Structure 1
Amino acid sequence: MSYDTPSGPPPSGPPPGGQAETLDSRGGDRPRGRGRRSTVLAAGAAVAVVAVGGAAWATLSFFSTGDQPAEALPASTLGYASIDLDPSGGQKIAALRALSKFPAFDDVVGLDADDDVRRWIFDEIQGETECEALDYDDDVAPWLGDRFAVAAVDAGGDLPAPVFVLQVSDDDAADAGLQAIRECAGGDSVEGAWSIRDGWALIGETQQIVDDAAADAAEASLADDDDFQHWTSEAGDSGIVSLYAAPEVGALLADELGGVGDDLGLAPEEVVPEESIELLKEFRGAAATIRFDDGGLELEMAADAGATGSMADGDAAGDLVASLPEGTVAALGLSLGDGWADELLDQIAEATGESTDELVAQASEVLGIDLPQDAETLAGSAIALAVDGDFDPESWFGGAAEPGSGIGVKILGDPDGVEDVLDKLRAAAAGQDAGFLDSDADDEAVALGPDADYRAKLLSDRGLGGTDSFERVVEHHDDAAVVLFVDFDAGDDWLVKLAGDDQDVRENLEPLEGLGMSAWLDGDTSHAVLKITTD
């Protein structure tokens, strides 16, 4: 995308022969410091909207290397979300090609690869305001850069302070531009302040907040923080949007959740389970990235596994889902680790106020099985729900006398042990419609479902993992604990049919190919990737 004013990288250091220059909303130059004066900033609202508005457009772009907003924020920053609007040309074109497949994109956005994204955002915002005096070419283009962020900064209060970060290509022009935006937006009627230094503008509620943030960043920046580097690296290759939560966020949330009980006159554990509060206090951090990859949009996340408290920590879900029939429309696979049933029962007991022993006794009486051991046997090393292209929802939910085929469960485990548990469940359900408990088995798996033909298909047809749609949308299925797969093209374009006669909706659903998600554990780190692809 070409811009009306060339925008190279911001200055990387102070001007020759002296201290770095800092401009703030008081006007003029000032040495770096921690003054307590405050001023108003109508620009804060307007320019912040530009930054946040960029998120709506950011799906057109890829991340490019270079200076990032984290360099302008202090290492004590608690939360961070950045957007990059200036990716490399090849990636940008690939994104436009993908998005241009959707008629609504051209109708609503209507941008080409050589358009100025910033101008488009400015025009959209200006059209919703009464600030007609601003001119993009005169007041914005000469200084506004391509990278933006919003952060939660520790400002010494009970809660973190929001700070917006804007990349600027000319510090003096940015100061003048922000002044113009402030005047147009209402002058002294809106509180706020800014500080500009070394190619970055920090915008916050008060002058002290932004001055302190700038000074602290000069001493130790978020970009150099060990936790930030670790978690953003764990989230994989960089992308159009980067998100980060510092370890301190867990303790902050724990305190806030605990305070909810005080407000309601209740003990904290009566509002939020005590175990959840303790997990938050032990939180070590998290990060996420949104990127384009192989014709699809991808969200990758990494987080402290101990704080998630997930029961899905096995490694066989991906292999099981890959072994499903080639014509599978949708599948959800879970691989539950050792002790998951005990953990689940404890959580239910804590939520209901009953003891675990009472809960086990009640469930065992109703289901006719021995908990928790029979539940773990039944789930095996992995269990998957599968929906075939021949599945007819009306046969299930429309009151048909006989349920149709095309849906079932496949369990990877000890077939004899699974069958023993199923026999107990069938006995407990005697006299009731328990067709879904009908089963067939081979040497390593059991198939459940009301239709014998589909049960046989679940055991014999193992082609899903070799299909292009599965490989593209579920890239990280090896050793996964959770896998979700949806094929939008299978089953005679079932997704498009859901739109009925609405031609506009049909045309915008047609380009979608698939949706996939995989989650896995790597040591004490939990990973997940969610991806959607187009034809």
Structure 2
Amino acid sequence: MSFDAPAGPPPSGPPETLDFGGGKPLPPDRGGRRGLLAVVGAVAAVGVAGASWAAWSFFSTGAQPAEALPGSTIAYVSVDLDPSGGQKIEALRTLRKFPAFEEHVGLDADDDIREWIYDEIQGECDDLDYADDIEPWLGDRFGLAAVDVGADDPAAVFVLQVSDEDGADQGLTALRDCNGATPDEGAWVIEDGWVLLAETEDIAQQVADDAAKGTLADDDDYRRWTGEVGDSGVISMYAAPEAGALMADQLTGVTSGEDFATDCTTDDDGAVVCSGSSIGPDDTMPVPDEATKALEDFRGAAATIRFDDGGVELEVAADSTTVGRGLTGGDDAGEVASSLPADTVAALALSFGEGWVDDLLEQIAQTEGGSVGDLVDEVTNTLGIDLPEDAEAVVGDALALAIGPDFDPTALDSGSTELPGIGVKIIGDPAEIDGVLDKLRTAAAGADDGVLDSDPGDAAVAVGPDAGYRAQLVEDGDLGGTDTFGRVIEHADGAAAILFIDLDGGDDWIADLAGDDQELRDNLEPLDALGLSAWRDEETAHAVLKITSD
């Protein structure tokens, strides 16, 4: 649900403050009496004006850092410490359920979160007083951006909202001095209620001048992608189309001794081994042509983090051309997930579109430096299946890996093949699916120990080592009708992928992960469920991750 603030300024007259403890009604106007109708009309007018103001102040999020940045901004992250009234209530209502928040943060509804942040990061500024030196000018919103200023690399710019420009200049100078920095270590420009901090004053001024010609908030790409993620939250993120080309340039220029060093190891001969490939000290990290082209064709993305319905959610919208269409083109993940048993503890459901095997083979071949033909021959010789037809048949219209309440995760550590309460449900043609499974069972030559055992149903096949759980999976369950599933899974109809975890399901398994750590158990206890759903809308990929509390 979205709410738009009324156009123009709020109604005139003294504003009412949003107060979590309630407030007193405004006293009635005691001017001249002109009869009952006049009194009713006056009361109605006051009521409408007051309601309009309350709605405007409650749902409006106010000015955002995007209004102080130019349209040439490449990437942007903003934080809103004073979001809409509903966000404040949901954030505090949710966070206060966790003992760690109460112990280490302990914020109440009327506390100033800005002061808490300042106290945490002030460094050596003990001589500054927040109430006297910071609070009078500090705003509620800030952001960090990468801005194209015509140089080889984008400029890093910090944006901070201020209510008193002269006070902000004095306060920032005091902060810089008390931390031992010099005027050469960062500079700022203050215009129209915003501080722009950059490496040099020239850069900050150029960003301000460029913003005067056209802001990020008015940029068509920014408006499109931030509109795709819906209502803004406490954190907002945006990547412009130009970010794709920038990332492509960075990837193609990375060598084994640079950014990928943390993902690589060095063997006895001094060669760097990354993801199974040996790369010499002067070699360039191989990047698939398809990945580079996808980044060059990137058209933008946005994300937001907000509090809602007793939990927190991350919503993302991105250009879907960065991923193979077949891999994200299915729309039946919700159907198979919803048909699982109602007491399902965890499930991962996937639905692929046409051509997903070809997409996957092409990506693997480019990454490994081989050919698609060689890959097909290797799979056929090893597994005895034909590509792409057998792979497409065995996944059906959609499949779901499901875990029931009887599943014991310790069995995985022991290496036991007796895995009760786990299995895969595949929606599709049972004869085609079982035909491919027969080929896989033959190739395994009995080594699967029942993992590939299957039971066919009318329009589905259940696969797994637990015959009792297979019998449950092959039937039509009602996970999709449960309140828990409905709270965390958005847009199940048409979803390409769904991840569902009932954190209260089973025998209190989420708390058991903490073992004897009582503090951790207490902080895991309020968790209710986790859900991730992803779907495709024409050329836009959407995803929503939700974590709810009891």
Structure 1 length-normalised TM: 0.85
1:73–1:217 Cα contact (<8 Å) kept: yes
Q: Which amino acid aligns with 2:340?
A: L
Q: Which amino acid aligns with 1:498?
A: L
1:63–1:291 Cα contact (<8 Å) kept: no
1:268–1:274 Cα contact (<8 Å) kept: no
2 CA distance for matches of 1:453 and 1:265?
53
2 CA distance for matches of 1:422 and 1:153?
53
Choose from 286, 291, 298 the match for 1:276.
291
Match in the other structure for 1:205: 199
1 CA distance for matches of 2:541 and 2:528?
27
Q: SS at 2:506's partner residue?
A: helix
Per mean C-alpha deviation after superposition, the further-off stretch among 428-437 and 79-88 is 428-437
2:232–2:304 Cα contact (<8 Å) kept: yes
Match in the other structure for 2:126: 132
Distance 1:187 1:463, change over 3 A: closer
Deviations 1:332-352 (A, max 9, x none): 000011111111112222222
Q: SS at 2:424's partner residue?
A: strand
2 CA distance for matches of 1:397 and 1:194?
56
2 CA distance for matches of 1:93 and 1:377?
49
Choose from 508, 512, 531 the match for 2:546.
531
Q: CA deviation at 1:88?
A: 3.5
1:63–1:84 Cα contact (<8 Å) kept: no
Q: Which amino acid aligns with 2:87?
A: Q
Match in the other structure for 1:105: 101
Per mean C-alpha deviation after superposition, the further-off stretch among 170-179 and 404-413 is 170-179
1:499–1:505 Cα contact (<8 Å) kept: yes
1:426–1:434 Cα contact (<8 Å) kept: no
Match in the other structure for 1:390: 406
Match in the other structure for 2:498: 483
Structure 2 length-normalised TM: 0.83
Choose from 339, 351, 370 the match for 1:335.
351
2 CA distance for matches of 1:339 and 1:366?
22
Map of 1:98-497 to 2, 5 A cutoff? 98-126=94-122, 129-188=123-182, 191-261=185-255, 271-309=286-324, 311-400=327-416, 403-497=418-512
2 CA distance for matches of 1:324 and 1:252?
43
Q: CA deviation at 1:424?
A: 1.1
- Unpaired segments ≥5 residues, structure 1: 1-11, 14-61
- Unpaired segments ≥5 residues, structure 2: 1-7, 10-57, 258-278
Q: Which amino acid aligns with 2:126?
A: E
Distance 1:88 1:280, change over 3 A: closer
Q: CA deviation at 1:266?
A: 9.4
1 CA distance for matches of 2:154 and 2:284?
25
Q: SS at 1:315's partner residue?
A: coil
Number of equivalenced pairs: 473
1:63–1:238 Cα contact (<8 Å) kept: no
2:330–2:495 Cα contact (<8 Å) kept: yes
Q: CA deviation at 1:461?
A: 4.7
Q: CA deviation at 1:130?
A: 1.7
Q: Which amino acid aligns with 2:377?
A: A
Q: Which amino acid aligns with 1:534?
A: S
Q: Which amino acid aligns with 2:353?
A: G
Q: CA deviation at 1:293?
A: 1.3
Choose from 87, 102, 123 the match for 2:83.
87
Deviations 1:344-371 (A, max 9, x none): 1122222222221111111111111111
Q: Which amino acid aligns with 1:110?
A: G
Deviations 1:269-318 (A, max 9, x none): 85211111111100000000101111110000011100233613100001
1:333–1:384 Cα contact (<8 Å) kept: yes
1:63–1:240 Cα contact (<8 Å) kept: no
Match in the other structure for 1:70: 66
1 CA distance for matches of 2:507 and 2:294?
46
Q: Which amino acid aligns with 2:66?
A: A
Per mean C-alpha deviation after superposition, the further-off stretch among 280-289 and 434-443 is 434-443
Q: CA deviation at 1:265?
A: 8.2
1:396–1:403 Cα contact (<8 Å) kept: no
Q: SS at 1:377's partner residue?
A: helix
Match in the other structure for 1:22: none
Q: Which amino acid aligns with 1:420?
A: G
Distance 1:382 1:503, change over 3 A: same
Distance 1:88 1:250, change over 3 A: closer
1:315–1:520 Cα contact (<8 Å) kept: yes
Q: Which amino acid aligns with 1:501?
A: D
Q: SS at 1:107's partner residue?
A: helix
1:82–1:150 Cα contact (<8 Å) kept: yes
Distance 1:451 1:294, change over 3 A: same
| 2:535 equivalent to 1:520 | yes
Per mean C-alpha deviation after superposition, the further-off stretch among 502-511 and 130-139 is 130-139
Distance 1:320 1:431, change over 3 A: closer
1:150–1:163 Cα contact (<8 Å) kept: yes
Q: CA deviation at 1:477?
A: 1.3
Q: Which amino acid aligns with 2:528?
A: E
Q: SS at 1:180's partner residue?
A: helix
Distance 1:396 1:215, change over 3 A: closer
2 CA distance for matches of 1:359 and 1:90?
53
Q: SS at 2:468's partner residue?
A: helix
Q: CA deviation at 1:247?
A: 0.3
1:312–1:334 Cα contact (<8 Å) kept: no
Distance 1:262 1:426, change over 3 A: closer
Deviations 1:239-281 (A, max 9, x none): 1111000000111111111112598889998521111111110
2 CA distance for matches of 1:135 and 1:96?
26
1:262–1:268 Cα contact (<8 Å) kept: yes
Per mean C-alpha deviation after superposition, the further-off stretch among 354-363 and 297-306 is 354-363
Between the aligned residues of both structures, percent identity stands at 61
